[in-house]
Amino acid sequence: MSANILFIGSELIKSRTGISDAIDDKQINPHIKVAQDMYIQPALGSTLYKRLQTGKEAGNLSGNETTLIDEYLTDALVWYTMSMLPVALGYQFFSKGVLQKTAEESQSPSRADLELLGNHYKAHGEYYCQRMIQYLRENYHQYSEYINTGNGLDVIFPELRAYTCPIFLGMEYELPTMRNLNMSGTGAAPQTIEVIPSTGVSTFTVAQLSGKMVINASRSGLVKGITTFPTNNTAYLQIVGSQVTLPTGDVTTAGELFTFTYR
């Protein structure tokens, strides 16, 4: 269970959206916590998520962590929280039970209208969350907890996409590309190697990766996340030095192509 540490406050939500200043903060703050846990934690992975929470509470966030929160996480969290408020504020608990709020000279929206509004805001959140995921994937070397997730049944590996709409065909379907890691002038130009390992193996060696930083990895044209720990998540490959390990229980098939971009 995550700590009750909020990355943003209700005042920020009010200042960035059309929500009324008259709404009690106590009606907003619980939904910030839920939005963090449901949407932000899976995007960051539970290890980095907890590090940002403890860093915020202790006041010892690094410059990179502050950039992540201020320039990426905040926008996503604002709109994910907003996606929960139409229903949450439209129906409230009173001593008589759950009641829908009404007002004079106005018409209360239907439940369908509230859900439509919530989905509208959620789409905003997914857009900003996808930008955050892309940023982390390009700059993972600056966030050790993003790739060094650790082990355990309660560990949440970072998701590779934020969109939940079934018609979105990005990320896992895109061809591997090399993106600038903001490391120009710090070493040799990135290189790409294609490898077809033996059939039926769960681990294989790519000598060229030894001592290198892997920028991108793909399997049969599907982009994969990179972790240094064992995982059963098929969206990831474990890469430690020159050794590449497939998710637990998985093995290579005949002629399967792996592509790695590194520097």
Return the pLDDT at 109: 76
Q: Between 1 and 144, where is the model more confident?
A: 144
Nearest residue to 141 via CA among 212, 75, 81: 212
Asked if 136 contacts 110 with a C-beta cutoff of 8 angstroms, the reply is no
**CA gap 137, 143 in Å, rounded:** 10
For residue 136, CA distances in Å to 1, 17, 50, 227 come to: 23, 26, 16, 13
Task: Assess whether pLDDT exceeds 80 at residue 190.
Answer: yes
Task: Assess whether pLDDT exceeds 80 at residue 168.
Answer: no
The label of the residue with tokens 């130009």 reads 189
Return the pLDDT at 172: 44
Question: Tens digits of per-residue pLDDT, 113-137?
Answer: 888 999 999 999 999 999 999 999 8
3-state SS class at 12: helix
- Give the count of alpha carbons within 13 A of 228, CB side only: 13
243's tokens: 């050794």
Task: Assess whether pLDDT exceeds 50 at residue 105.
Answer: yes
- Give the count of alpha carbons within 13 A of 41, CB side only: 19
Task: Assess whether pLDDT exceeds 50 at residue 152.
Answer: yes
Question: Tens digits of per-residue pLDDT, 71-94?
Answer: 999 999 999 999 999 888 876 766
Residue 111: how many CB atoms within 10 A of its CB?
12
103's tokens: 């007002």
105's tokens: 């000279």
Mean pLDDT in the chain?
85
> Which residue type is seen at 184?
S
For residue 205, CA distances in Å to 195, 202, 258 come to: 10, 11, 12
Task: Assess whether pLDDT exceeds 80 at residue 246.
Answer: yes
Nearest residue to 140 via CA among 232, 71, 192, 214: 214
Asked if 56 contacts 93 with a C-beta cutoff of 8 angstroms, the reply is no
Question: Tens digits of per-residue pLDDT, 8-53?
Answer: 999 999 999 988 898 999 999 999 999 999 999 999 999 999 999 9
> Which residue type is seen at 238?
Q
pTM of this prediction? Answer: 0.70
Number of H helices, E strands in the chain: 8, 9
The label of the residue with tokens 């070493």 reads 187
Question: What mean pLDDT do residues 137-165 have?
Answer: 84
- State how far Cα 211 lies from the chain centre: 27
